[in-house]
Structure 1
Amino acid sequence: MRKIISLILLILVGIGVYYIWLNFFADDSIKLYFATKDGMGLQVEKRKVKGDKKWEAVRELIAGPTKPGLFPTIPPEVELLNIRVKNGLCVVNFNEKLITNHWGGSTGEILTVYSIVNTLCQFPDVERVQILVEGRKVQTLAGHLNLEESFEANEELVK
């Protein structure tokens, strides 16, 4: 009986140590990709988040950069509706303001799409990202990129 109690206590202590490590010592920082000052690429800004990291990462993208010299890639009125991952594909769904409030231009559209894609592809379970608007695939945000397909990260845009 003592061996069983000792084993249970050992397991509980192990679970407690693991919980403490996860909450206090694990790296909870994420990379967010924002537009550079010249508007020709993306640059990383790291932030610490709590909760669902994918959800919070996209919400932080919408909130915009805090680092001087970086610029937002998503209009601040945009709302994240949902996000899910299955078999390496992350499907991220926004409200219509992703299109109606987008500032346009080919470079602007590319930076918006790849700021979302690169940010989400940092997570081990995400290989590709599909962007939806109001639950539907859309042809484009601003007339330049075909959003009916999913995207892989593009590190060539990162300065």
Structure 2
Amino acid sequence: MQIVTLKKNTLIRHFIFLLILAIGFGTVVISQNTHTETAEVKLYYVDAQMLRLIPVKTQIPQMSTQKMAQRVVDELVEGYDDNPKIRRIIPNVKHGIKVKVLDRIAYVDIKQELADKHPDGRDLELLTVYSIVNSLTGLDGIVNVRFTIDGKRQKDFKGYIDMRETFIPDYFI
């Protein structure tokens, strides 16, 4: 009788152990993979004296060229206010700049509101345009940049640079 009880207890323990294992392995665990691939890009910001552009390397999520181009411009608008060596020159206007990429050209549409809030001056206009151009052409798949304001080609941005041109990067600004 004692042997039967011992076998019964052992059998019950094994059954409970197997039941716990079955429940444990039967549980579905859903975890989100927070690791996304990133790409290193150079964003061109204005130096603290607002005289030239300084490249700043940063990581952004790897996505389509279209999405990366928009992300680059958004990063330029947000700026790095905590870095004393660089300044944000593009006014922070919500959805102030939209980018579309087609046939290796980035089409940058600037809201009139952003243009109106931009500081005046030939040099500041030049720095702003090439901050965008140099940053975007650093992405694979973009070699030129064209600008519009509120969806229309304009003669100039703030009165100095001919915005009807197709821009290529200029890393000496």
TM-score normalised to the size of structure 2?
A: 0.71
1:148 and 1:78, CA in 2 relative to 1: closer, same or farther beyond 3 A? Answer: farther
Match of 1:60 in 2: 75
Matched, 1:156 2:172: yes
Task: Output one character per residue of 1:80-114: Cα deviation in whole Å (capped at 9) or x when no partner.
Answer: 45322222211011211231111010000000000
Match of 1:8 in 2: none
Match of 2:57 in 1: 46
- Matches of 2:149 and 2:104, distance apart in 1: 20
Q: How does 1:106-125 map to 2 (within 5 A)?
A: 106-125=122-141
- Matches of 1:78 and 1:134, distance apart in 2: 14
How many corresponding residue pairs? 135
Matched, 1:128 2:144: yes
Q: Is the 8 A contact 1:45 1:65 kept in 2?
A: no
1:142 and 1:78, CA in 2 relative to 1: closer, same or farther beyond 3 A? Answer: farther
- Matches of 1:35 and 1:104, distance apart in 2: 15
- Which of structure 1's runs of 4+ aligned residues deviate more than 6 A? none
Q: Identify unmatched segments of 5+ residues in structure 1.
A: 1-19
Higher-Rg member (1/2): 2
After alignment, is 61-70 or 79-88 more displaced?
A: 79-88
Cα RMSD after superposing both structures: 1.9
Amino acid at match of 1:89: I
Q: Is the 8 A contact 1:131 1:147 kept in 2?
A: yes
After alignment, is 26-35 or 129-138 more displaced?
A: 26-35
Percent identical residues: 24
Q: Identify unmatched segments of 5+ residues in structure 2.
A: 1-32
